[in-house]
Amino acid sequence: QSEIRKTLLEVFSNAKGEFISGQKLSEQLGCSRTAVWKHIEDLRNEGYELEAVRKLGYRILSKPDKISCNEIQLGLETDTLGRNVYFEETVTSTQKIAHRLAYEGAVEGTVVVAEEQTSGRGRLDRSWYSPKHTGIWMSIILRPSIPPSRAPQLTLLTAVAVVQAIQEVTGLEPDIKWPNDILLQQKKVVGILTELQAETERINSVIIGIGINVNQERIHFPEELSSIATSLRLEKGEPVDRAKLIQCILLKIEKLYKEYMQHGFKIVKLLWESYSTSIGKHIVARTLTGSIEGKAIGITDEGVLLIEDLTGKIHQIYSADIEI
Ligand code: BT5
């Protein structure tokens, strides 16, 4: 059933908006014309706009603004990332599901995506607002053979890849705020959360959570976020294709991850520094134990932020919230 659906969408996608006759569809799908008609009806119910014209056949007018396994996998160019997609309409948190799947042995590159999270989370148990149909809420399972101490590098790697994908798909040019925020016009458009399943010396899996505000309008944000959050649509002035952006993100992460596993953190570090807003600026880092103020002078090879205070002392910041 789902194979036929996949083929049908592929045929329409290849036809690029041209009509395809019912006869041709039934041949390509290997089912009767009545069955074709039923599949078309199913697609319509899912929000696809399909035109049927006698003697010409069917053509696709628009796809729903929905994401599904099909939407993500159709045209996906990666080798491993997203080859295994776990999709659900509503979940508590994609992180939670990814943790379970990783524990149960899911392969590297498995991706969990949902249309809505009822308890999406940020760092330190903060909540992440994840309303229906407007954002990208996904978690990626990686299984790198690196020591747990190097895991923060993967947050930075992800941030670089997401910035590159946003640039490619929307033309917008976001900045990165250490360690895990991506900003447009100083407002947060993406949050990244990296979690580990590890023993002392060995990583079992890294779960990288990515939350992106894509198609929200200003009124969609709750009061407390309206001045600190934005969406790609708000900044670009038009809606953005979420499935396409997911595909591009997966491809960029995969490329950079391969590079990183082969040649180390250097290239990621250089790219990250080129997108970062904090480096070279006077900042305040609020950590769990207190605040440190000074000039952000760079990141180390481990992805640790370096701040030089007024006395010239250099502090290593492993985890904090940054104010510029
Ligand atoms: C983050 O935490 O920025 C990491 C967010 C990761 C979310 C993804 S979505 C898929 C996966 N599944 C999950 O459950 N989580 C991951 P942090 O740096 O702690 O920032 C959290 C803060 O960002 C909150 O306290 C709010 O102030 C703000 N915030 C919450 N929702 C937001 C949104 N949609 N857009 C912008 N800011 C938001």
CATH for 10: 1.10.10.10
Provide the percentage of residues in the chain whose pLDDT is more than 70.
100
Ligand 1 atom 7, closest CA: 211
138 lines ligand 1 (CB under 6 A): yes
Looking at the structure, tell me whether residues 258 and 172 fall in a common domain. Answer: yes
179 lines ligand 1 (CB under 6 A): no
Distance CA 144, CA 205 (A): 7
267 lines ligand 1 (CB under 6 A): no
Q: Residue 36 Cα, ligand 1 centroid: separation in angstroms?
A: 43
Of 3-7, 56-60, 97-101, minimum mean pLDDT range: 3-7
- pLDDT for 136 equals 98
Tell me what the pLDDT averaged over the chain comes to: 93
213 lines ligand 1 (CB under 6 A): yes
- Residue 246 makes CB contacts below 8 A (sequence gap 6+) with 67, 72, 82, 113, 136, 138
Distance CA 2, CA 68 (A): 12
Confidence of residue 67 (pLDDT cuts 50, 70, 90): confident
Span 11-35, mean pLDDT? 91
Looking at the structure, tell me whether residues 191 and 302 fall in a common domain. Answer: no
Atom of ligand 1 nearest to the CA of 321: 18
- Residue 220 makes CB contacts below 8 A (sequence gap 6+) with 131, 134, 231
Looking at the structure, tell me whether residues 158 and 30 fall in a common domain. Answer: no
Looking at the structure, tell me whether residues 298 and 152 fall in a common domain. Answer: no
Q: What is the 3-state secondary structure (H, E, C) of 18-47?
A: CCECHHHHHHHHCCCHHHHHHHHHHHHHCC
- Residue 70 makes CB contacts below 8 A (sequence gap 6+) with 5, 6, 9
Provide the percentage of residues in the chain whose pLDDT is more than 90.
74
- CATH number of the domain that 315 lies in? 2.30.30.100
Given a cut of 90, whether residue 174 has pLDDT beyond it is yes
- pLDDT for 48 equals 82
191 lines ligand 1 (CB under 6 A): yes
Span 136-145, mean pLDDT? 97
Atom of ligand 1 nearest to the CA of 114: 10
Looking at the structure, tell me whether residues 76 and 196 fall in a common domain. Answer: yes
Task: Select the more confidently predicted residue: 303 or 275.
Answer: 275
- Residue 31 makes CB contacts below 8 A (sequence gap 6+) with 4, 39
Instruction: Yes or no: say if 133 and 122 are a contact pair by the CB < 8 Å rule.
Output: no
* 217 C-beta neighbours (distance < 10 Å), count: 11
Looking at the structure, tell me whether residues 159 and 235 fall in a common domain. Answer: yes
Looking at the structure, tell me whether residues 101 and 223 fall in a common domain. Answer: yes
Q: Residue 211 Cα, ligand 1 centroid: separation in angstroms?
A: 7
Q: Residue 244 Cα, ligand 1 centroid: separation in angstroms?
A: 22
Residue 202 falls in which region: left (phi positive, over 0), alpha (psi -120 to 50) or beta: beta
- pLDDT for 266 equals 92
| Pocket probe mutation, ligand 1, options 128, 192, 210, 323, max atoms within 8 Å of Cβ | 128
Given a cut of 90, whether residue 61 has pLDDT beyond it is no
Confidence of residue 113 (pLDDT cuts 50, 70, 90): very high
- Phi, psi (deg, nearest 5) at residue 107: -70, 160
Q: Which residue has the tokens 């379970």?
A: 100
Given a cut of 70, whether residue 166 has pLDDT beyond it is yes
Digit-coded pLDDT (tens) for 226-268: 999 999 999 999 999 999 999 999 999 999 999 999 999 999 9
126 lines ligand 1 (CB under 6 A): yes
Distance CA 125, CA 291 (A): 20
Domain holding 296, by residue range, is 282-323
Span 74-80, mean pLDDT? 91
Span 184-204, mean pLDDT? 93
120 lines ligand 1 (CB under 6 A): yes
Looking at the structure, tell me whether residues 177 and 161 fall in a common domain. Answer: yes
How is residue 94 written in tokens?
Answer: 């994609």
Helix (H) or strand (E) holding 102: helix 94-103
Given a cut of 90, whether residue 275 has pLDDT beyond it is yes
Looking at the structure, tell me whether residues 155 and 45 fall in a common domain. Answer: no
Atom of ligand 1 nearest to the CA of 191: 3
Span 151-171, mean pLDDT? 96
Confidence of residue 46 (pLDDT cuts 50, 70, 90): confident
Given a cut of 70, whether residue 49 has pLDDT beyond it is yes
Given a cut of 90, whether residue 271 has pLDDT beyond it is yes
- pLDDT for 1 equals 60
The total number of structural domains in the chain stands at 3
Q: Residue 45 Cα, ligand 1 centroid: separation in angstroms?
A: 32
Looking at the structure, tell me whether residues 195 and 246 fall in a common domain. Answer: yes
Q: Residue 299 Cα, ligand 1 centroid: separation in angstroms?
A: 23
Ligand 1 atom 11, closest CA: 209
Q: Which amino acid is at 112?
A: V
Looking at the structure, tell me whether residues 34 and 161 fall in a common domain. Answer: no
Confidence of residue 98 (pLDDT cuts 50, 70, 90): very high
Looking at the structure, tell me whether residues 92 and 154 fall in a common domain. Answer: yes
Which residues are paired to 176 by β-bridges? 182, 276
